[in-house]
Each structure stands twice: as C-alpha cells, then as structure tokens.
C-alpha cells in the first residue's frame, strides 16, 4: 500500500525526526528549570537555548520571547487585555484573535484577501485605537499581509499592533524588528516541532499582559512550570526551519504545478488569493459544486489528508468566513479545499492528489474540462 499522503501542513506539520530525538533525550532528564541545583540548571539551559533559537528565527531578541502553550495562548495574552471599543482587527484573523477580543471593529479585505490599508487608516482616524491586530499570513488562503505598512499606520495614530505569525514563521522570512510590530505569536507545531508549545514575542516584555499567574516563570509573564522538553523541541524545530527556509520557498513550484494540472481537469476551477503574495506551500482551491466536506472524506478514503480550512473550525457547515470576507459567493466558499505542503512533501504526493482529484471530479458528474478562472 502506498504511504499516506499528508497535505495539511497548515493544520499541523509532520514533526521532524530530529525534533523527536531532542524530545526523547530531554524527557529522560529530570529537573525543574526554576531549581538552582545541577538538574535544574540543565533544564534551564534547554529553555534558554531554545529561546535563542526561536528569537533568531523571527528576528527578535531572546529577552523578547515568552514561551506559551501555543499560538492561541500567545494571541489571547495580548488580545484579552484590549478594550474592544479601542481595537481594530482584520476580518480574516484566526479565531484565537477574533474571539479573544469580541466586539472589536473589523477591517475589510479586498477580493485578493489583502487588508484594505486605506480603510485601516480611515478607521484609525475615526476611532483612535489602542491596538490593531493583523496576521502575517492567512491560514486558509496563504495570502501574506502588508504588516510593516500597517504597523507604520498604527504607530502614526499612537496605536500598538499585534501580529499572528503562526502560519508564516518557518515558511517565509520573518523579521520582528523590520515588521515594526509590538507583539507577535508563533507556534512550534506549524514548523515541524511538537504540539502544545508556542511563544509570544513582545517588544517590551515588562508591559505585556499575563494570563497565567503564580510562580513567576517567564519573568512573571507566564506562570507555571516550563514544559522543558516541548520547549527544547520548539528550539530544535526553529533552528532547522531557519536553516532550511530556502527549501520551503521552493515548494511554490510544486504548488503552482499542482494548480496548473487541476485547472486542466475541472471547468470552473479556481484558486483563491492568486493575485496577492502567498505562502509558498498553500493553495485554497475550488471544485465547483462539490462540498468541501465531501472532498475531504473522499481524499481521506484514498489515504490523502487535506482540509476544508482551519483545523480549529473542523465540522463547520457554514461558508468559511475568510472567503466570505473576500467577497466569495457562499456556493463557492462551501466547496473550497485547502492543500498545504511541508518539509517532506514530494512530487509523488502531488501526483496522487491530482489523480484522486480527477476521480472525485469524474464521480461528481461534472466531467467538463476547463481552465482556471
């Protein structure tokens, strides 16, 4: 039997074997990173080494890195402190941002999925916000946002800006200083590290909010005993992602080739967000008239893992809100599938996906061929 094909890296990446080795080695050790004896000092070294590696991956200083349980916690740590009446968020933010500051005004995006900077500037003039949230890359379409430009607008109006960079880190170059943001969220499992660990990058850590209190860990910004093995695994994954960033960039060729092949199979085929810069690994595609849930099941039965969008929205039946914000009609949005490649994706994976796509399209009864819209 052929090996299972995994094309859902935006949900979670396959963990790198080298990271498993690090996790295993550290789990064999004993020591609380807050203890002063030798075992505690060894644990502390694992944490601080990882802090340096994560900082290097995103162009920050180690002292700006606060370890959390993941990107969701990092987003909540910032956004739950915000006053909704003084906060602007893009309409395509992850639920971890939208739901942690309910009531915040939403900034529109254009048909390509890029935030409307003119609308942002107008909203700033009318609202005088304290915080703006804009992700670096969308988890469903892969569209990259003009975060540096948005940060300049925010600061001109005296606002701070938070950036969810969970999908971007390890896939494209990320530079905290160059982006000019005040805080940033990242997660290990999106770049080949373990699930359940992430980081908040804070420009001024002493002024960052704190969700979990007690114990004084992470300089008083995140209480609770550090998950040393997971943090060490995060550090290893960050180092590898940084070293192999060029190979991730090369995935764009594989993705584009897949999109060209599918356009030759299905009439009405469409790729969302192609007129904007995208992550090199992400393609959100339309199989007209075939519900996304039907497609996901068909691919799963064929041994191929893909998704209908954000893993945090599994089981939904409504149209994906990201595509709705882009002006995509509901009947198309409900038929959108996300394919996301990763560090061990191969051309053979793409060949199998295209073959199953062809079979699913044929079985749907819509056998006309056509070109991409």
Task: Indicate which residues carry an active-site annotation.
Answer: 312
- At residue 269's C-alpha, the angle toward residues 339 and 272, to 5°, is 55
d(CA 367, CA 356): 14
Alpha helices in the chain (DSSP H): 17-27, 38-58, 71-79, 95-98, 117-127, 147-156, 176-179, 228-243, 245-249, 251-263, 292-301, 321-325, 330-333, 347-363
With beta carbons less than 8 A apart as the criterion, state whether 308 and 370 touch: no
d(CA 181, CA 167): 16
Question: Tokens for 42?
Answer: 């060894």
**Dmax (CA) of the chain:** 71
- Give the position of tokens 């694992």: 46
Task: Sort strands 270-271 and 282-286 into parallel, antiparallel or unpaired.
Answer: antiparallel
């Amino acid at each position: 039997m052929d090996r299972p094909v995994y094309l859902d890296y935006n949900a979670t990446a396959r963990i790198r074997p080298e990271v498993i080795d690090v996790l295993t080695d550290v789990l064999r050790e004993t020591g609380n990173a807050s203890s002063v004896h030798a075992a505690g000092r060894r644990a502390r070294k694992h944490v601080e080494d990882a802090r340096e590696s994560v900082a290097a991956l995103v162009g920050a200083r180690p002292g700006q890195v606060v370890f959390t349980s993941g990107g969701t916690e990092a987003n909540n740590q910032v956004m739950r402190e915000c006053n909704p009446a003084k906060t602007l968020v893009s309409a395509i933010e992850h639920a971890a941002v939208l739901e942690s500051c309910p009531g915040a005004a939403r900034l529109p995006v254009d048909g390509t999925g890029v935030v409307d900077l003119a609308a942002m500037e107008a909203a700033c003039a009318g609202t005088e916000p304290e915080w703006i949230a804009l992700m670096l890359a969308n988890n469903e379409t892969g569209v990259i946002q003009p975060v540096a430009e948005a940060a300049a607008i925010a600061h001109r109006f005296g606002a701070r800006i938070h950036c969810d960079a969970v999908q971007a880190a390890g896939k494209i170059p990320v530079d905290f200083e160059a982006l000019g943001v005040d805080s940033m969220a990242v997660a290990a499992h999106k770049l080949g590290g373990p699930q359940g660990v992430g980081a908040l990058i804070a420009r001024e850590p002493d002024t960052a909010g704190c969700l979990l209190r007690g114990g004084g860990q992470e300089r008083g910004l995140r209480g609770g005993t550090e998950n040393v093995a997971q943090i060490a695994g995060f550090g290893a994954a960050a180092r590898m992602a940084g070293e192999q960033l060029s190979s991730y960039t090369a995935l764009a060729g594989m993705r584009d080739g897949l999109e060209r092949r599918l356009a030759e199979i299905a009439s009405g085929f469409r790729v969302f967000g192609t007129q904007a810069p995208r992550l090199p690994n992400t393609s959100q595609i339309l199989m007209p008239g075939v519900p996304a849930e039907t497609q996901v099941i068909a691919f799963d039965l064929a041994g191929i893992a893909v998704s209908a969008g954000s893993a945090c929205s599994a089981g939904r039946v409504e149209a994906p809100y990201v595509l709705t914000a882009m002006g995509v009609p509901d009947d198309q949005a409900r038929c959108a599938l996300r394919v996301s490649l990763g560090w061990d994706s191969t051309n053979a994976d793409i060949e199998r996906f295209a073959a199953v796509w062809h079979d699913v399209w044929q079985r749907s009864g819509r056998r006309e061929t056509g070109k991409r819209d």
